[in-house]
Structure 1
């Protein structure tokens, strides 16, 4: 009986056969983010750009659709590279 207790008396490493955790890619954002964080940042930028566009640019003539196209392009860039 004491022989079996001596065999398992040391620490058991349950992670010895698993791969190391994936390394997070470094993006241009100064904080650590996941895809949902980058999506949220993109939505906030879209709202801010729309408000800016309505106040200052649209009275000059260009449509809000141009602002939406810029916001979508920024969102794709931020989500993929951020």
Structure 2
């Protein structure tokens, strides 16, 4: 979590950072399997996202860590039935 969003490609870093800077809202969609993994190049800290969408397999520690950063975290279990 401390490393934020990373990528193995140096070429993608600037493109993704510029896209984030020009967006009115920045949303990260990532499966729980991505949390705790990292690559060589850092794109952004998780606190730079307005919303993070993930699945219910995200650990309670990860959920707490994300929410403590003030980021809205949306999980399938959070939604109420229609």
TM-score by length of 2: 0.21
Higher helix share: 1
Higher Cα radius of gyration: 1
Query: Which of the pair is proportionally richer in strand?
Result: 2
